[in-house]
Amino acid sequence: MSEFIPETKTSIWMNGEIVSWDDAKIHVMAIASVSCAIAVFEGIKAFPTKDDLCVFRLPEHTKRLFNSAKMYGMKIPYSEDEVSNAVVETLKTNDIHEECYIRPAVYPGSADIRIKKMVGKTPHLAIIVRPWPEISRKDLTLDESARRVFVPSWRRISSDVMVLKSKCVANYANAFLAHIEAKQRGLDGAIMLDNQGFVCEGPGETVFIVKDKQLLTTPIYSPILASITRETIIEYLSEDMGYQAVERLIERSELYTADEIFNCGTGTDVIPIVEVDGITVGDGKTGPITKQLAEYYREVVTGKVSNYQRWLTPVY
């Protein structure tokens, strides 16, 4: 049986204690039950700045983690400040100074296979940090990292079926099905539609299209995650750059005639899409607005834009 052995075995914060990678374990019954399916999590990034490592929009991510848990009736046994401080502590303990990904996870951890026995239980909390180069190559240019995607047969689940504003593990089974189809077709990703046929989001990222210098994206009331990167672009960065961001329903056909398309998210930052369903987007290269936005976003997260240094939580 193969086992994932990372290049760097980082220490992990579990229920108030720092433990080694090898000692960070849960009972097999917690996996055999449905408790893993109702786990909630966050994806957070930290970036090197001129003042050393800083976490981008940590309070906002922590708030969303608490909201995700609340929607599933889980009360995290720590305050938001305590969890944010635990993130910083975990990074310090691992002496990380390079770009890294942070994954807090809240899970029932119950050894009981009956769903009703998990309701109201005090959940567990773990915080994992991983150096970003071990997860994704960062030496690629935008054109080299550009995605060829398609519209999968699987539709995005609707918000009357699951709580889609919660980053719940169960929601990502839907995304996993889209990834399976993409891999079978030799593609890089997918753009999922909602149950009415409108553009929704990627399996794990927001989708924007650029048309006539407007940034168009799905409205927040649609079955999408309330992405923090999405909000950063809509409410702040697009205005700084002189572009109007518009939230409206987007038809599938608009993907084929867009000037540019890009994904955004904590893990991806801003990444271009150059093909949808075999149809070339624009000239098949990173569009000028996508390029400008990707570069500006990078300046913001690395502390080079003074107006947004308030979003950076220093680690050291």
Active site positions, annotated: 167
Q: Which residues of 112-133 are buried (b: 16+ CB within 10 A; e: fewer)?
A: eeeeeebeeeebbbbbbbbbbe
**Any idea what the Cα angle at residue 239 is, between residues 237 and 240, rounded to 5°?**
65
Element (H, E) at 143: helix 142-145
User: Which of 124, 119, 83 is CA-nearest to residue 102?
Assistant: 83
Instruction: Tell me if 217 sits within 8 A of 207, measured CB to CB.
Output: yes
Helices (H) and strands (E) in the chain, counts: 9, 18
Cα gap 153→151, rounded to integer Å: 7
Distance between CA atoms of 290 and 41, rounded to whole angstroms?
A: 28
